[in-house]
Amino acid sequence: MTGEGLEGFYRAGRRLLSRCHVRVAGREPLPVHARMTAADRARFVGTLRASPDAGPDPDVTVERVRRADGTERITLHSAAPRPLRLPLEVALGTDLADLSAIASGRTGPELPATVHDSGLRWTSPTGSSAVTADPPPTDALASAGLLRWEIELPPGGSASVELKARLDGEGPLRAVAQASATTPLAPARAAGDHPGAAALLRSCVDDLHALLLRDPTHPTDTHLAAGAPWRCGLAPAEALAAARMTLPLGTRLAAGTLRTLARTQLTDGPRSGMIPGPRRDAGPHLPPSCTATEATLLFPALLAEARRWGLPERETEELLPAAEQCLTWLRTTVGEGTYLSDPHPGGPQRCETQAHAHRAARLGADLLDAFGRPGGPGLRQWARSLRAAFQRDFWIDDLGGGRPAAARAPDGRLVPHLGAATAHLLDTGLLGGGERAPGLLDKVQTEQLARLLGSPMMDSGWGLRGLAAKEPGFNPFGHRSGAVRTHETAIAVAGLIAAGYEKEASGLLRGALAAADAFDHRLPEMYGGEQRTDGSAPIPHPAACRPAAAAAAAGVLLLTSLAGIRPDAPAGTVTLRPAASAPLGEIVLTGLRVAGAPFSVRIGRLGLAMVEEAADGLQLGV
């Protein structure tokens, strides 16, 4: 940990420790290995020669295991044939900078240290942090920020030092427990022909557990942090999207997320009914988008689908008033018009916003009808009008077969650039009886969009690019202008499979699994959108969160979409629409949850699905 760039331990958006420099016998170990071993843990290994007669081979291994809770264990392993006495020095430093200053390169110099208890302390006007050591150091030099031990190593022996970084006055971090009684996520597992499927699902569930947060005022409600290190708190749109993609792991995360966000819902003024959220960069061709709009539209859709997956009727009914307010905001904002614009003067009408709004209206109408609430027929009528107008107003005819516009200006001018946001047009949502809601595109337009998403312009070989490679402004590292975003790749794969375009889905799916393999099966939020070639590897994005809630949830969606699980818990049925081409060969998914009970399914090499475990009384739909 050198103190350069983003490196360091963080707590509540502040860098507790930025530098942790280890020397053994006056020398730095030679780095030979570094990898994440879990979502909240990394292991680093270095070697050195400590004996004068050791020859060319190292005889001391220095292992550093760093955890996200602010602890680091430094262990020296000796392979020397005689006892060793080695000085271990750890140089520490920090600037106590906040994350926004670090991201923009506005950090100041390191702060002076003082000796504190069994370690060192740093103080600034905004707070203080301390590092304590176990065992206590032999010497502590504040002016150099140095802790020193004399380590005795018997032949073949080991010795360890543990450092703990804390904000002053803070106790140890307490993560959401992963025990089956307390975690909202089922312990899903995968097995089968593809060697990466099992590792991917295991890492995804691990990442999701690592990102779980409790609502401090309602500790029984859990939700997901958006990702580490940049967004360690609640981001409403990402939390809802991730909860929706993880419905195959149970409905408790969805319920906790919905209850948490319902408490933030605006109740007064022109934005009444909205779930607040920040603005988000949208690439070079459009202004930043409003994640509050996305979250407000995701809320009723998630509630409706969670009910299909098994959210109890009582819990659904408790959340229904908040969903009704979201739908009321939608109808009030659209008014007598057809399209939902960004909520600022002159804001564009984005294609993905219309897709989210259409899905919210169709699924919301079903939800209202199920509980005898008014408003369903009006929402359906508006959704039908939107669908008819969208097919006419948002489609750009060209010699290549046409494409959906990225957005429409208030004056009717179309933004023609092809990007991954169009994948949301395929994400129509789940209705009763295992039926998908209708989408905004007709069959011919859907087929053309599938062809575009599967083309080399959009499919990088590692997943779906944020912007087509031949579009002006394409940047393989652009957040929304060319980088591969794991979440949108999964949305595209699931939508293409559900719509019957399995060839295009298979290419994106295999690319994403190959990328996962290159990232040790722990997919980041995004990565470079450069074209895959023989012998190449996906390039990490320097600003990507890893672990990230949407990416981890996307891995769950990538694999479960192969089974095409479409439950209707209120009706006591589950329908399977597996990928007939079986792009990963045989795959077995166990430990899922449908209707509140364990659910397991096997998809054979011929694309046939068989339920191996399910709730008592759950019937297989046609």
The predicted pLDDT at position 172 comes to 47
The arithmetic mean of pLDDT across residues 89-105, rounded, is 87
Q: What is the pTM of this model?
A: 0.89
Which ranges of 415-501 would DSSP assign to H, the alpha helix? 443-453, 486-499
Using left for φ > 0, alpha for ψ between -120 and 50, and beta otherwise, residue 582 falls in left
Which residues, in sequence order, are CB contacts of 364 under 8 Å at separation 6+? 300, 301, 304, 323, 326, 327, 375, 376, 379
The predicted pLDDT at position 38 comes to 86
Which tokens sit at 502? 């399995």
User: Distance (Å, rounded) from C-alpha 458 to C-alpha 456?
Assistant: 5
The H or E element spanning position 139 is: strand 139-141
CA end-to-end span of the chain, whole Å?
57
Statement: residue 51 has pLDDT above 90 = no
CA dihedral angle for residue 325, residue 330, residue 336, residue 337, rounded to 10 degrees: 180
Phi, psi of 56 (to 5 degrees): -75, -15
CA 442, distance to chain mean position in Å, is 31
**Beta strands 189-192; 587-594: pairing state:** antiparallel
- Count of residues making up the chain: 622
Percent of the chain whose predicted confidence (pLDDT) is above 70: 98
User: Distance (Å, rounded) from C-alpha 394 to C-alpha 408?
Assistant: 7
Express each pLDDT in 545-582 by its tens digit. Answer: 999 999 999 999 999 999 999 999 999 999 999 999 99
Using left for φ > 0, alpha for ψ between -120 and 50, and beta otherwise, residue 100 falls in alpha
* Prior bond of 538 cis (ω within 30°): no
Least confident of 105-119, 388-402, 514-528: 105-119
Question: Residue 591: how many CA atoms within 13 Å on its side-chain side?
Answer: 15
- Are 506 and 582 in contact by the 8 Å Cβ rule? The answer is no
Among 418, 379, 411, residue whose Cα is nearest residue 395: 418
| Burial zone of 514 (CB within 10 Å; 0-12 exposed, 13-18 middle, 19+ buried) | middle
Provide the residue type at 514 as one letter: A
User: Distance (Å, rounded) from C-alpha 16 to C-alpha 95?
Assistant: 8
Statement: residue 174 has pLDDT above 60 = no
The predicted pLDDT at position 40 comes to 86
Distances (CA, A) of 66 to 20, 72, 501, 536: 11, 4, 44, 30
User: Distance (Å, rounded) from C-alpha 10 to C-alpha 101?
Assistant: 13
30 bridge partner residues: 47
Number of H helices, E strands in the chain: 12, 32
Distances (CA, A) of 382 to 270, 329, 332, 338, 433: 21, 14, 12, 8, 23
Confidence class of residue 586 from pLDDT cuts 50, 70 and 90?
Answer: very high
Least confident of 39-43, 469-473, 554-558: 39-43
Statement: residue 69 has pLDDT above 70 = yes
Confidence class of residue 179 from pLDDT cuts 50, 70 and 90?
Answer: very low
User: Distance (Å, rounded) from C-alpha 611 to C-alpha 423?
Assistant: 29
User: Distance (Å, rounded) from C-alpha 544 to C-alpha 590?
Assistant: 30
User: Distance (Å, rounded) from C-alpha 448 to C-alpha 396?
Assistant: 11
Other residues' Cβ atoms within 10 Å of the Cβ of residue 590? 18
- Are 346 and 286 in contact by the 8 Å Cβ rule? The answer is no
Provide the residue type at 324 as one letter: E
